[in-house]
Amino acid sequence: MKRTGAWLTVYALEQIGARFTFGIPGVHTTELYDALNSSNRITQVLVTHEGGASFMADAVGRLSDSIGVLTVVPAAGLTHAASGIGEAFLDGVPMLVISGGPRTDTGHRYQLHQMDTHQFMSGLTKATFRVTRHEDVVPTLFKAYAIATEGEPGPVFVELPVDVLLMTGEIGELPQFRREPAAPLQAEAEIARAVELLAGARHPCIFAGWGTRDATAELTRLAGWLEAPVATTLQGLSVFPASHPLHVGFGFGASAVPAAQNAFKDCDCMVAIGTRFAEIATGSYGAEVPENLIHIDINPKVFGANYPAKVGIAGDAAVVLRALMTALEKTPRRSSDGTLRQRIKADKAAYRESWYRHDAPDIVNPARFFDALRRATPDEGIIAIDDGNHTFLTAELMPIHAPKSVILPTDFNCMGYAVPAAIGAKLACPDRSVQAIVGDGAFMMTCMEILTATSNNLGVVYYVFNDGELAQIAQAQQIPYNRKPATTIGRLNIEGVALATGAAYLPMNDNAAIDGVIGKANAIAADGRPVIVAVRIDYSKRTAFTSGAVKTNFSRFPLNEKLRFLTRAAVRHVIG
């Protein structure tokens, strides 16, 4: 039989369970978009910018069993989408990146959008493919999907030249997609060694990352058995419930909140699960890890990369933790007198109180805002966070109670993530509330994508922390330089953005307005209309992460460089 490459592409996407495609059609993809329009399983989402498309696809990959799919033109479409593709690559998020391509049947050079897209995509994806025969379309997309979802997930790029998409070709029997079963865990010796280390530990601790997102039940069981405090990475904020008395917060080193620092202070054996000990997770590598480190990750390349592991166990977090618990339950359970839990509770309360004491008139206290947001948000509600000072305020002050209820950029650290990612989240999970926390600087990068939310009747609430400054980098500049160049942003009329995109607009100017505005925003969003809330946020109190990371980095400077920085800051302080 004869089929176009576009028809074959849609068939393959339906086979792998794709629910959405994100992008903007162009001359290389008109046939693909026409074929997608005939599918009753896949919804095309037209975006305002391909960068927004990639962040939406990222959110679908993080929150659902379906993979996020980009359908973009080559060259410009790919370069626009590159930031979101790179974010997915470094954060371990599955994604299919499908682009059209110049014709392969004419011999012409210098065609429209002609460039070496594979060289460009090679540093941002797990693999790249170029399909030149119709019979290879479906098998290639099946293979791309398998690579994207197996092991440590990530994006895979497939180029489909326009002649393959447009024209028909002879194909044989259409293959059916079958997922290969996971290989059984082969780690008996490593499990036994881990149990031995834990049995001899006086103060075991657990550090959990994004790789534990499907193992919350197993992680909770392990923490209770060991009576061990649990800290999470930034990306892993939702893998362990903040309502659990052994939860201590984000990070555990010098950049962590007091509850985490104190609970991990005497740690003599650590179980690290689904984390690479990357820069943000460790507060610029300021975290001290004990010699007895048990490191569990699906990617064995992370073992020993930044901290040496006494035991490395490669495998899916849930599978490994179940095997570990089976072995641990043959040993005596660790007893508890409740002291650790009481200390964690007291440390959290004291840290909260330090923020309450920072109240000021005519401005919003972050702790009071997040207290109200937590009360008004179901545990399963999704929060998309952008990159900036608000990231660490959310991490330290917003308790997260349910798995996969927070998404945010981490290692690639893209500003502009939250606005489109929240749209992808609402599409993937229409029955869950979706809210975004975004600074005004990051908001300006992608705010016009709210038009996509309006066009699709998506009730997303955007809380824009508005202070007229790039606050995170401004604070990082102010400490060593005593000034903060190039961080004041232009006067942003947030209400004008709402008018332009069809969103509702609500101002939140002080603490007295918090509860009422949140309630009104939720009511409007429930009717399928996006809402932009301009929060006049107080950024004057630094987060534990910001203060700790600056000190950690400064402590590594050579003595002469420390003196130079201190002298310069002192002189600038004196002269104003």
Please say which residue of 170, 198, 218 terminates a domain. 170
Residue 554 lies inside a defined structural domain of this protein: no
Q: What is the pLDDT of the chain when averaged over all its residues?
A: 94
Residue 55 lies inside a defined structural domain of this protein: yes
Residue 393 lies inside a defined structural domain of this protein: yes
- Is 205 found in the same domain as 306? yes
Please say which residue of 122, 141, 170 terminates a domain. 170
Given a cut of 70, whether residue 279 has pLDDT beyond it is yes
> What confidence tier does 576 reach under pLDDT thresholds 50, 70, 90?
low
Residue 159 near residue 75 (C-beta atoms within 8 A): no
Residue 244 lies inside a defined structural domain of this protein: yes
Residue 272 near residue 252 (C-beta atoms within 8 A): no
Handedness of CA 389, 394, 396, 402 (dihedral sign): negative
- Is 163 found in the same domain as 198? no
Residue 553 lies inside a defined structural domain of this protein: no
Q: Could you tell me what percent of the chain has a pLDDT over 90?
A: 83
Residue 353 lies inside a defined structural domain of this protein: no
Please say which residue of 113, 138, 170 terminates a domain. 170
Give the separation between CA 86 and CA 47, rounded to whole angstroms. 19
Within 8 A by CB and 6+ apart from 338, the residues are: none
Question: Which residue in this structure is represented by tokens 């809210």?
Answer: 435
pLDDT digit string, tens, across residues 434-452:
999 999 999 999 999 999 9
- The DSSP line for 41-90 is S-EEEE-SSHHHHHHHHHHHHHHSSSPEEEEE-TTHHHHHHHHHHHHHHH
Q: What mean pLDDT is predicted for residues 222-237?
A: 97
Q: Which domain holds residue 242?
A: 188-342
| Strand extents, DSSP E, 300-452 | 311-314, 382-385, 406-407, 434-439
- Is 193 found in the same domain as 160? no
Query: Tell me, what's the pLDDT at 100?
Result: 94
- Is 400 found in the same domain as 296? no
Residue 93 near residue 235 (C-beta atoms within 8 A): no
* Residue 317 in tokens: 């977090």
Residue 555 lies inside a defined structural domain of this protein: no
pLDDT digit string, tens, across residues 167-223:
899 898 899 998 888 889 999 999 999 999 999 999 999 999 999 999 999 999 999
> Could you tell me what percentage of the chain is helix, strand and coil, using 3-state DSSP and rounding each to the nearest 5?
45, 15, 40
> What confidence tier does 84 reach under pLDDT thresholds 50, 70, 90?
very high
Q: Say which DSSP state 448 is in.
A: G
30 or 563: which carries more pLDDT confidence? Answer: 30
- Is 129 found in the same domain as 19? yes
- Is 192 found in the same domain as 82? no
Of 7-11, 172-176, 558-562, which has the strongest mean pLDDT?
7-11
465 or 573: which carries more pLDDT confidence? Answer: 465
Alpha helices in 108-257 (DSSP H): 117-122, 137-149, 162-166, 188-199, 216-226
- The sheet carrying 127-130 orders its strands as 43-46, 20-23, 68-72, 95-101, 155-161, 127-130
Given a cut of 90, whether residue 46 has pLDDT beyond it is yes
Give the separation between CA 576 and CA 559, rounded to whole angstroms. 26
Q: What angle do CA 487, 569, 575 make, to 5 degrees?
A: 95
Q: What mean pLDDT is predicted for residues 147-157?
A: 97
Residue 255 near residue 548 (C-beta atoms within 8 A): yes
Residue 117 near residue 159 (C-beta atoms within 8 A): yes
HSE, side-chain direction, 13 A CA sphere, residue 535:
31
Amino acid at position 216, single letter? T
Terminal alpha carbon distance of the chain: 79
Given a cut of 90, whether residue 108 has pLDDT beyond it is no
By the 10 Å C-beta count (0-12 exposed, 13-18 middle, 19+ buried), 575 is classed as: exposed
- Is 338 found in the same domain as 362? no
| The model's pTM | 0.95
CATH at 29? 3.40.50.970
- Is 92 found in the same domain as 46? yes
User: How many folded domains does the chain comprise?
Assistant: 3
Least confident of 80-89, 110-119, 191-200: 110-119
Residue 561 lies inside a defined structural domain of this protein: no
Q: Say which DSSP state 222 is in.
A: H
HSE, side-chain direction, 13 A CA sphere, residue 420:
30
pLDDT digit string, tens, across residues 289-325:
999 999 999 999 999 999 999 999 999 999 999 999 9
Query: Tell me, what's the pLDDT at 572?
Result: 80
- Is 371 found in the same domain as 498? yes
- Is 213 found in the same domain as 99? no
- Coil vs helix vs strand at 567: helix
CATH at 227? 3.40.50.1220
- Is 306 found in the same domain as 194? yes
CA distances (Å), origin 575, targets 483, 566, 569: 12, 14, 10
Task: Count H helices and E strands in the chain, helices first.
Answer: 22, 20
Within 8 A by CB and 6+ apart from 462, the residues are: 418, 419, 422, 435, 436, 438, 443, 450, 503, 530, 531, 532, 533
pLDDT digit string, tens, across residues 452-505:
999 999 999 999 999 877 777 777 777 777 787 888 888 899 999 999 999 999
- Is 395 found in the same domain as 513? yes
